A and B are shown apart, each in its own frame.
Chain A
Amino acid sequence: MKRRDFLKVISAAGGAAVAQGCSPAPSETLIPYLVAPDDIVAGEAAFVATTCRECPAGCGVLAKTVDARVIKVEGNPEHPVNRGTLCVRGQASVQSLYDPDRFRGPLLRRGDGSYQSMSWDDAEAALAAKLREARARGTGRVAWIGQLATGSFERLTREWLALVESDRRLFCETFDHEPLRRAAAMVMGRAEIPTYRFDEANFVLSFGADFLETWMSNVEFTRQYAALRRRRATDPFGCFVFASPRLSLTGLNADGWVAVRAGAEAALALSLVHAIVADGLSHESVRPHLDWVRSLVAPYAPEALTAITDVQPADVHALARQFTTAGPSLAVGGGAATRDPHAIDLEVAVLLLNAVGGNLGRTVTFGGGSALDGLATRDEILDLERALAHGNIDVLLVHHANPAYALPGGAFESALARVPFVVSLASTPDETTAQAHLILPDHHSLESWGDYAPRAGVAGMLQPAMAPILSTRASGDVLLNVARRLDAERAMALGPGDYASYVSRFWGALSPSDQAWTDALKRGGRYSNAAPVAAAMRDFTGSFPAVPLPDSRPAGSLTLIAFPSPFLYDGRQANDAWLQEIPDPVSRTVWNGWIEIHPDTARRLGLAQDDVVGVQSASGSVTTVVRLYEGVRRDVVAMPLGYGRRAPLRNAQARGARAAALLPPDGSSWRVDGVSLVRQGRRRLIVLQAETEMPPGRPPMAQVIRPSAAAVARERHLPADLYPPHAHREHRWGMAIDLNACTGCSACVAACYAENNVPVAGERACAEGREMSWIRIERYDAPRVPASGVRRFESVFLPMLCQQCDEAPCEPVCPVYATYHNPEGLNAQVYVRCIGTRFCSNNCPYKVRRFNFSRPSWPSPLELSLNPDVTVRSAGVMEKCTFCVQRIQAGKNVAAREQRPFRDGDVTPACAQTCPAQAIVFGDLNDPASRVTRLSQDRRSYHVLEELNTRPAIAYLKRVVPE
């Protein structure tokens, strides 16, 4: 940014309050969360409360702005959905904001397919002209397909479409949970997404629902699940069983794995209901329903279904007992199982399971008013597709949706080609935009006004955290401007002013200084408790489809399932470099897509790790790379969605393969039977974790504890020293990480990238083992098949960062004191003093130091996201976790300014701040009352590689695994 622009921005932000009285300038556009605008000081951070729009969960965020630029996002502690935390994708939203590939202004496609840039005036005029033509040709000739919107934008699009004589508006999400809504309609008479309370449950049974990563509201569910785990840590059988042909990240967190045959999840769920009813375990609340339920599930006796589900009857009965005796429990269904011909059966069975388990009204409630209820159904999408293909639509507006990529097959794409005028309101290029005639780039959500209510009682606010960096325009403003051009008179109904004032009117603000309105701006929305409605199950025997049993498949045939990528989601965030560079928690790979195959299957097919294979299904074929994984069934191969983007995106284009190309084109299923794999060559996948199983004989890095050992006092290695220990007079910073809560979601990793200006190394450097992340999530598996009960993977996720050892091996070997022990117990690293001998890294047993093998770079405008409080390191120096020393300093400064002693909780490093499970606790080990001190003395606490006498400041709390 030029100095002149910087001053402009500063004066715009700082002078806003001054200007308020005398100009119509939207002076309310930059009201920060903590301080009033005239308090904005250069270099001081201000937090703007807004809402994350990277997925429909709608978490509240505080955008940290310094010098009028967003440098990081953090969860809004007041927001009921996420309570101050964010997931890895939320953290990466800053990367979307400064995406170097974003459109820089409106574009019009010429006849030869190239694009010409134009002014906003001309662009809006062009759109208005096309709309006028379309309207003249009749009603319903304009269609809108966009990301899920609620509140003001929902109303604006509805009113605006009415203006152009249309009501074709679809809100599309790749993960739309439609079968669940339909099942709820069948079972409960309410076509809606239920509200889940994982924290109220004592036992969770998930049929492929990845609620810790992508399913519905992963941050909220992770928090709830962590609470459940903490509460039920000593259950002898564990508190979470995952039934799916593939273990996702969520599955790896489970205490047990029921490797059900793909497509037979519904049959398994129904057989569970059968077992519960037959074994007399059903909850008393379903007594009145027992008769019809019994007859409904009569064909699904576990004993009869073993051949179909591949689950032993004994296991089903054991699960049934566990599910009902723990009560309340919770069953959920999701993932590939809910994009399947049997999806509705599964969701019905899951609801039934919750009913016979007595969970309805306790862990599963209705009337939550989920925003997801507003999503288009598959029939509506197919209907629009047909209308497009038949030339019934003249103008199609696409708003932050990418159906050309996300919908399976290529039908939508070819239908799109038949539309005379496609308008894209996307901010980055995508596969749908490639077909657009006019591109009117929207602001990023962090630059936008708006609102989003993920559920009843949670009305989230979107407000610009900074002025737009590119020549983009809010889609709301485009709609208003075009409406006025089109029909000034009727546009009066939309009200005066720009979209920002439309939003404030929608929120009932009478003036910009309206107390309720400014309060909502400060808090990031309005929050209240929406009471669930009483909903009762009804007899749906008549409408329940007959035998939902999967077809029998020939032995040796392979079934492909597609699963949502925990990081790229449905592919929308594939261009965010952090999400490409942080290793996938399951495959440990970076910068590429893959296909998961069980090692035995691979051996049978003559395939090996890193083989390039052509994958062929009835619908299409793609080429991808083999990743061996014991967490898939032997008859299943699995591919992540979100890879294989074709759009010109520097980090995403042509990376991996598009799994959707293999799926049935009607979008009915994420499962295809009878796929074939042909070896085509070799290409090494970049894997950032060498081993996931501890070599025998070594003390485990990630330790577990059995409930029966709970009473055993922890063993401590006695320190053996030649020298007196370091004196830490004032503070001794320390951390406690609860492995029982950590789900491996990697949000901390992304937060660390954002907070500490950690450079993205890129694909090549990662392949050479030169990634720069200061914190990594290690995973250790100990696959076990207990004598009775379900299989276990016994995975433990171990966040590994600098342990800030008291006897740090890195310190004595540095010849120039570039690393030294500071008085507060940190292994401080002085970048300017470092000459790069790299001895410290060699001598670090935790290998958490990172060396700058090259000069780090941030493609413009990503350099605007740099945290000014943290030095950008140069080539040739070593760097590592500092416990966010800049935050420690800031926290101490605040305490000093307020003339009070330092309190526990004054400092939270970025990783601990964002952890959705709140597994990381930071504080002063000198303070006997601090949380971190108490946790460090917990009987579960241990130090990694304690026997090396490094005496780390990080205590890990062992994961509790069932007997």
Chain B
Amino acid sequence: MPGQSLTVELHRVTDDIFRTFTWSRVGWFAYWGSVGLCGYGWSIAGLLWIQQIYSGLQVTGLNHPVMWGFYITAFVFWIGVAHSGTFVSAILYLFHARWRTSIARAAETMTIVAVMTAAIFPVLHLGRAWRFYWLIPYPNERGLWVNFSSPLIWDAFAVATYFVVSVLFWYLSLVPDFAVVRDRSGGRQRAIFRRLALGWSGTAGEWRGFRRAYGILAAIVTALVVSVHSIVSWDFAAAIVPGWHSTIFAPYFVAGAILSGLAMVLTLVIPARFLLGAQDYVTVDHLENVGKLIIVMSLILTYSYVMEAIFSVRDDRPFTRSTFLFRVTGDFWPLFWTTIACVSLVPLSLFRRRVRRSLTALFCISLLINVGMWCERLMTIVTSLAHDFDPSVWGTYRPSVFEWTIVGGSISWFLFWYLLLIGHIPAVPIAETKQNLLESHRG
């Protein structure tokens, strides 16, 4: 944007980003059509859930011994997706990676919606879903309490905390932007955004407080990024099931979560930047940086896989070794090898600059990583359960129509809320973009 004065440029930022609020006729139909379609999708899944509550979990493919399957996989998957938002916002913020700004809003919104999606699954998979609140310690006349030694309770706390802090973090960064929207709109919209902006007027004092709060929250969220998925991993690692019972699980799950989150950011942002016309703000450079991060995470994961294999094979008890061999060669071998291909091999292509800068390639790779991460979680969960200690009760698992539909419905649910949110808030942080612009002008 050379040749333009800084003021004009700053003004243009506001204009551009604000443009995402004003729809063309076609855009309006496209947007609400998509929202409606997604709403329809998850409604179907919702109906199936009601049917599942009515007839019991017999409608799933779960069985004895494979008591966890698609639903828990979906939980871990969506929690994983939820990790990039905070990663991009908090950790990259603390490291002053300025390119993160353009995708921060998209990523943070994704986090919140992904947690909303993930949180459904632990409830949905319960035998008696209507009793889900028993997982929460609340005072009751029967003096019943939850079992704090159960990883599932840790889960409940971790996910709830993560959700609350992510929402706060997201909202805090939105406050100045809400104020911009408030100032530019009228009527009912103005009334709504006035409340949302919490009376932000942009004084130096407000900015100082904002910075401080943002920094503190970023630090907290950083800790959460590590803790949440560690705790999710302990759902498995704290069990004695061979293939789960491993100390490597926490770092391995965190890396996996960040990888799947980054992939999901690419999956969402690459089409969105076209749809919203935000090419100037979300540049190829930014996306290339995400690609570089993906390489790092992928390598960490590959390292974990290798370590896991070595631990398993060298374990002096036969169970873990046998589970590993079953993963590699047993009924579910396609899952294992898809995982290796999509998570360890495909991202290696990002070492080539040309691939990193090709949006099509990035998009395809991001999809493949999503698939690979899904397979990895499913493989981890199912193979360990299918072949554990007692060979006489070894089993297998095939997801049912209900599970496919409900998990598919969760994608609709995710997109539904994502579209609704991203369509009604500034999709790129206005204030932060401007600040970056100022800083770059200052040199």
A residues adjacent to B (C-beta < 8 A): 689-692, 694-695, 697-699, 701, 765, 768-771, 776, 778-780, 800, 809, 812-817, 833-839, 841-843, 845-847, 850-855, 874-878, 945, 947-948
**Chain B residue with minimal CB distance to A588?**
B392
Given contact pairs A770-B58, A812-B147, A851-B64, enumerate 17 new A-B contacts (beta carbons under 8 Å). Answer: A689-B393, A692-B392, A695-B322, A778-B392, A813-B151, A813-B238, A815-B146, A835-B128, A838-B67, A839-B152, A841-B65, A843-B239, A847-B393, A852-B56, A853-B58, A876-B57, A948-B240
Residue B404 CB within 8 A of the other chain: no
A871 to B83, CA, bound (A): 44
Chain B residues near A692 (CB-CB < 8 A) = 392
Is A838 a contact partner of B147 (Cβ separation < 8 A)?
no
Q: A690-B391, A698-B391 are in contact. Are A815 and B127 (CB under 8 A)?
A: no
Q: Which of A697, A817, A874 contacts B146 (CB 8 A)?
A: A817
Is A845 a contact partner of B392 (Cβ separation < 8 A)?
no
**Chain A residue with minimal CB distance to B240?**
A809
Q: Which of B56-72 contact A (CB under 8 A)?
A: 56-58, 60-68
Is B127 a contact partner of A842 (Cβ separation < 8 A)?
no
Chain B residues near A854 (CB-CB < 8 A) = 55-58
- Shortest CB-to-CB span from A791 to chain B, Å, is 23
Q: A833-B144, A837-B152, A851-B67 are in contact. Are A701 and B390 (CB under 8 A)?
A: yes
Chain B residues near A699 (CB-CB < 8 A) = 318
A854 to B321, CA, bound (A): 35
Is A835 a contact partner of B239 (Cβ separation < 8 A)?
no
Is A834 a contact partner of B128 (Cβ separation < 8 A)?
yes
Chain B interface size band reads 35 or more
- Shortest CB-to-CB span from A143 to chain B, Å, is 50
Is B68 a contact partner of A842 (Cβ separation < 8 A)?
yes
Residue B411 CB within 8 A of the other chain: no
**Chain B residue with minimal CB distance to A813?**
B150
**Chain B residue with minimal CB distance to A876?**
B127
Is B149 a contact partner of A812 (Cβ separation < 8 A)?
yes
Chain B 132-147 near chain A by CB (<8 Å), digits 1 or 0: 1011000000001111
A847 to B240, CA, bound (A): 12
A841 to B69, CA, bound (A): 13
Residue B241 CB within 8 A of the other chain: yes
Is A842 a contact partner of B241 (Cβ separation < 8 A)?
yes
Is A836 a contact partner of B126 (Cβ separation < 8 A)?
yes
Q: Which of A690, A770, A852, A855 contacts B393 (CB 8 A)?
A: A690
Chain A residues near B146 (CB-CB < 8 A) = 815-817
Chain B 309-336 near chain A by CB (<8 Å), digits 1 or 0: 0000000011101100000000000000
A839 to B388, CA, bound (A): 14
Chain B residues near A814 (CB-CB < 8 A) = 147, 150
A699 to B240, CA, bound (A): 17
A947 to B152, CA, bound (A): 26
Chain A residues near B196 (CB-CB < 8 A) = none
Residue B218 CB within 8 A of the other chain: no
B residues adjacent to A (C-beta < 8 A): 55-58, 60-68, 122, 125-129, 131-132, 134-135, 144-147, 149-153, 156, 235, 238-241, 317-319, 321-322, 385, 388-395
Tell me how many residue pairs across A and B have CB atoms closer than 8 Å: 169
Chain B residues near A836 (CB-CB < 8 A) = 57, 126-128
Is B56 a contact partner of A698 (Cβ separation < 8 A)?
no
Is B239 a contact partner of A852 (Cβ separation < 8 A)?
no
Chain A residues near B394 (CB-CB < 8 A) = 690-691
Most buried by B among A689, A815, A874: A815
A813 to B239, CA, bound (A): 8
A845 to B55, CA, bound (A): 28
Is A815 a contact partner of B67 (Cβ separation < 8 A)?
no
Chain A residues near B56 (CB-CB < 8 A) = 852-855, 875-876
**Chain B residue with minimal CB distance to A836?**
B127
Q: Which of A778, A809, A838, A945 contacts B127 (CB 8 A)?
A: A838
Chain A residues near B128 (CB-CB < 8 A) = 834-836, 874-877
Closest A-B pairs by Cβ, 3 of them: A836-B127, A876-B127, A769-B63
Q: A812-B147, A851-B127, A877-B127 are in contact. Are A846 and B389 (CB under 8 A)?
A: yes
Is A843 a contact partner of B132 (Cβ separation < 8 A)?
no
Q: A838-B127, A842-B239, A843-B241 are in contact. Are A698 and B55 (CB under 8 A)?
A: no
Is A846 a contact partner of B67 (Cβ separation < 8 A)?
no
**Chain A residue with minimal CB distance to B122?**
A837
A780 to B65, CA, bound (A): 19
- Shortest CB-to-CB span from B105 to chain A, Å, is 35
Can you pick out 22 interface pairs between chain A and chain B where the beta carbons lie within 8 Å of each other? A690-B392, A690-B394, A690-B395, A701-B390, A701-B391, A769-B395, A800-B390, A814-B150, A833-B144, A834-B127, A839-B67, A842-B65, A842-B68, A847-B390, A851-B127, A854-B56, A854-B58, A855-B56, A875-B57, A876-B56, A876-B127, A877-B127
- Shortest CB-to-CB span from B154 to chain A, Å, is 9
